[in-house]
Amino acid sequence: MIKLSKASKMPCRSWSLEALTTCPASKNKDGSLVDACKGCYATTGNYRFPNVKAPRVHNQEDWKRKDWASDMIAELDNDRYFRWFDSGDMYDLRLAKKILEVAKATPHCNHWLPTRMHKFAKFSKVINELESLPNVVVRKSSDSVTGGLIKGTNTSTIIPTIDNATKGMVVCKAYERDGKCGTCRSCWDKSVSVIAYPAHGKSMAKVIKMIQVG
Ligand code: SF4
């Protein structure tokens, strides 16, 4: 059974997994978390509630079903915007191929797919195919929380404050709207190269403080 979520602050529905357990790219080679994942919003607050966890745990098994892709395609019949992975990541190549199938069959829907799986070479082909679709933005996330950039056509990074934004970054202004996107659709916009998300939350503030203190 397809289980989508709809965060009140987002303009669309989302299909998500549990953070960290489905985020192999959240770890450094020594097993420690990368900076951006140390303060991950999806491991705190509401995300700890059973009713929020349950669909994410369900989805981790559900995508393996034979009919999952066709069920997703039917589910998105009327959606114009969709966000993959409000939490979690495209951790399995078979899942990535099914997402590609869904995106190809739903050209009426704009898909935003944030991911760190670009770190793994075996995902290159499917990510390239996803990126070639006019209705998909694969937004590759940087591990930095201080505005560090990564290569790629569509990327994102975290900045400590809006004053840390540099030329070419589009700053997410959700903080001006109580965390809501409002009419902004920059994350879905292929012409937007880099989105900079100002850090929010106590955990992220702690991570940034530790880095800045050195
Ligand atoms: S940049 Fe725009 S679309 Fe992306 S999260 Fe922020 S407000 Fe929403």
Q: Is 171 in the pocket of ligand 1 (CB under 6 A)?
A: no
Q: Is 76 in the pocket of ligand 1 (CB under 6 A)?
A: no
Instruction: Report which DSSP code applies to 66.
Output: T
pLDDT reported for residue 43: 78
Number of neighbouring beta carbons within 10 Å of residue 182: 12
Name the residue with the closest Cα to ligand 1, atom 6: 172
Q: Is 174 in the pocket of ligand 1 (CB under 6 A)?
A: yes
Q: Is 42 in the pocket of ligand 1 (CB under 6 A)?
A: no
Name the residue with the closest Cα to ligand 1, atom 4: 187
* Residue 62: burial class (beta carbons within 10 Å; 0-12, 13-18, 19+): middle
Q: What's the farthest any 2 CA atoms get from each other in the chain? A: 51
The structure tokens 């799986």 sit at 117
Q: Is the pLDDT reported for residue 41 higher than 90?
A: no
pTM comes to 0.94
pLDDT reported for residue 209: 83
Q: Is 144 in the pocket of ligand 1 (CB under 6 A)?
A: no
- The pLDDT confidence band at residue 162, using thresholds 50, 70 and 90, is very high
Model confidence over 68-126: pLDDT tens digits? 999 999 999 999 999 999 999 999 999 999 999 999 999 999 999 999 999 999 999 99
Burial string for 95-129 (b: 16+ CB within 10 Å, else e) reads: bbebbbebbeebeebbbbbbbbbbeeeebeebbeb
**Measured torsion, CA atoms of residues 194, 115, 77, 184, in degrees rounded to the nearest 10:** -30
Name the residue with the closest Cα to ligand 1, atom 3: 185
Q: Is 186 in the pocket of ligand 1 (CB under 6 A)?
A: yes
pLDDT reported for residue 210: 82
Q: Which atom of ligand 1 is nearest to the CA of 185?
A: 3
DSSP H helices, 35-123, are 35-38, 50-62, 68-75, 93-104
